[in-house]
Structure 1
Amino acid sequence: MDFSTLFVGALVVMAFILLFSVVKIVPQGREMTVERFGKYTRTLSPGISLLTPFVERIGRRMNMMEQVLDVPQQEVITKDNAMVKVDAIVFIQVMDAARAAYRVENLPYAITQLCSTNLRTVVGSMDLDEVLFQRDNINSRLLTVIDAATEPWGVKVNRIEIKDLSPPADITNAMARQMKAERERRAVITEAEGEKQAAIARAEGAKQSAILQAEGRKEAAFRDAEAREREAQAEAKATSMVSEAIARGDVNAINYFVAQKYVEAFAELARNPTQKTVIVPAEMSGLVGTIAGLGELVGLAKEQQQGRTDVRAAAPPRATPPAPPRPRGGSVPRS
């Protein structure tokens, strides 16, 4: 191998080195800063770019995609002197590659430390109950403070989330007992409300039942009064008919009327609960004789009303039906 071949080979190698140092390909989601003699001049966007050989070089390669930084766990004393362990995560995105590259050294570490200090500040200004139940408030306050602090660095803080909050063991036990007591209180209240609603429902049912019973008694009384009225009307009509029959001289109507009253009186006597025995009258034929006598009186009244002037002297007297044999009086034991 002679000198000319070595020289050509060296030229080829230098050409490739020069080519790779001049032509730069920037991938998507990345940006590169260009320095001329150590001074920042421009920023290369994604794509292919050419540099001035031996004059310009690549300074910093910046990631323009959204990144997630983990804030390490730390112990924080709250406003009411309770010790809690807190950690978080922060989502950032570089908006200006030049400022992020040249205004702060070690950007992820700087943002992590900034989040840690502000986390202690925010949590330390709140009570333990507020810290446990107001995570959204903590996140929003941290986001406002850290985003304002990182704006000169060309970084946008999109979100900050509290990942874990760990109170001490004794506080955790006290919270568990408090939660149990609260659950029991709610259960007692719910049970009392149920009993109250049941009592109200029973009272409403009793009220409706009493109203319906009163309505029933009212309707029954009305029906009874109507029945008694109709019975009285029927009795009055029957009496009127009997009176008219008597006026006309109808002996059968008189017999029926008197016999009915006699039977009703005797039935009432038999239904008397204080009577051990029932006395049967010995003169059973007295009823028939009484009916016959009443018939004679009605006949005479009828003749007088008609104004007959002639006297029936020769008229034979009406034969009285033979009286049935008189049963012997005695006591009949009630069944």
Structure 2
Amino acid sequence: MDFLSANVFVIALVVFVLIAISRGVRSVPQGEEWTVERFGRYTTSLKPGLRFIIPIVDQIGRKVNMMETVLDIEGQEVITRDNVMVRADAVAFYQVVDAAKASYEVRDLEHALTNLSQTNARTVLGAMDLDEMLSNRDMINSRLLDVIDQASTPWGVKVLRVEIKDLSPPADITEAMAKQMKAEREKRAEVLEAEGLKQAAILKAEGVRESQIREAEGRREAAFLDAEARERAAEAEAKATEMVSKAIAEGDVQAINYFVAQKYTEALRDVAAAPNAKTVMIPLEASGLIGSIAGIAELAKTVGKQD
């Protein structure tokens, strides 16, 4: 009996030791932290990996998820500053940075964060007009992030992002906004069309003006060249007259023939240029004209020798 009792005691002792060892060894998974309580009071937090605690005396209090977590903020009705009812849906991303605070500073952390987010969303959105609300989502997200993160810091939580998922005004307001947007787009289209027509008219007027300027410059250039040609012709005529007058003064008969031939030639030209002239009759005195021309040539040679 004594031997049997001893064996039972040894077996019981071994079982107790094994149970105590198993209760003292803990394997904490990655992404979690476990709090340790000694006689119901928090003492430390166990990091991921193989950890040891004192059996019976210590026990695991809370298993806290330390990974980033998505918090779906339930949609709610919000009254804007201009008295429009808007339904707002949001989502928040948070991460526990202190397992002890998240376990013992607040009861039901996720529920507390949800209510905190809804309350601050009503406060922020209610201080804005509808148009301001719909066009400044980034500003709303930033303000909500600052407020919620500051309020949840004592709970050992870091709020990383807050995003407004949807802002839904009433159907009649949405329809009125759609009509307003359509009217604004039509107005912009009409303004752009008017600007296009204005630019086209300006360009056309500038083109006409440039054409007129160049045409006037062309006429002026042509008039200048014509005047220059007439001036040169007059100078040549004056020089020829001077030469002939000098020759007449010196008693040269050929100079007199020059004037006669000139007038004779002009008369024949006028007769030939008449619109009713069908046939031009050259008089018998044409030989005299030819002689006059020969005299002119002789006169020109004489003057040339004198020069």
Same fold (TM over 0.5): yes
- For residue 128 of structure 1, report the CA deviation from its aligned partner: 0.9
- For residue 7 of structure 1, report the CA deviation from its aligned partner: 6.3
Aligned to 1:220: 222
Distance 1:227 1:48, change over 3 A: same
Establish whether residue 194 from structure 1 lines up as the match of residue 196 from structure 2: yes
- For residue 257 of structure 1, report the CA deviation from its aligned partner: 2.1
Q: Which of the pair has more CA radius of gyration?
A: 1
- For residue 127 of structure 1, report the CA deviation from its aligned partner: 1.2
Q: Deviations over 1:228-255 (max 9, x none)?
A: 1110111112212222333344333322
Distance 2:31 2:187 in 1: 57
Establish whether residue 35 from structure 1 lines up as the match of residue 37 from structure 2: yes
Q: Contact between 1:269 and 1:278, CA under 8 Å: does it hold in 2?
A: no
- For residue 150 of structure 1, report the CA deviation from its aligned partner: 0.8
Aligned to 1:301: none
Tell me the TM-score normalised to structure 1 length.
0.77
Tell me the TM-score normalised to structure 2 length.
0.83
Distance 1:22 1:247, change over 3 A: same
**Unaligned runs of at least 5 residues, structure 1:** 296-335
Distance 1:186 1:282 in 2: 83
Aligned to 2:137: 135
Instruction: Point out the structure with the larger helix share.
Output: 2
Distance 1:166 1:245, change over 3 A: same
**Unaligned runs of at least 5 residues, structure 2:** 296-307
Establish whether residue 252 from structure 1 lines up as the match of residue 254 from structure 2: yes
Establish whether residue 208 from structure 1 lines up as the match of residue 224 from structure 2: no
Distance 2:35 2:143 in 1: 34
Distance 1:207 1:98, change over 3 A: same
Out of 83, 101, 104, the residue aligned to residue 102 of structure 1 is 104
Identity in percent: 61
Distance 1:286 1:91, change over 3 A: closer
Aligned-residue Cα RMSD (Å) equals 3.0
SS in 2 for 1:87: strand
Aligned to 2:80: 78
SS in 1 for 2:54: coil
Q: Contact between 2:90 and 2:162, CA under 8 Å: does it hold in 1?
A: yes
Which amino acid in 1 is paired with 2:258?
Y
Aligned to 2:95: 93
Q: Deviations over 1:220-278 (max 9, x none)?
A: 111111101110111112212222333344333322321221331453366466xx579
Q: Contact between 1:90 and 1:160, CA under 8 Å: does it hold in 2?
A: yes
When the two structures are aligned, how many residues end up with a matched partner? 289
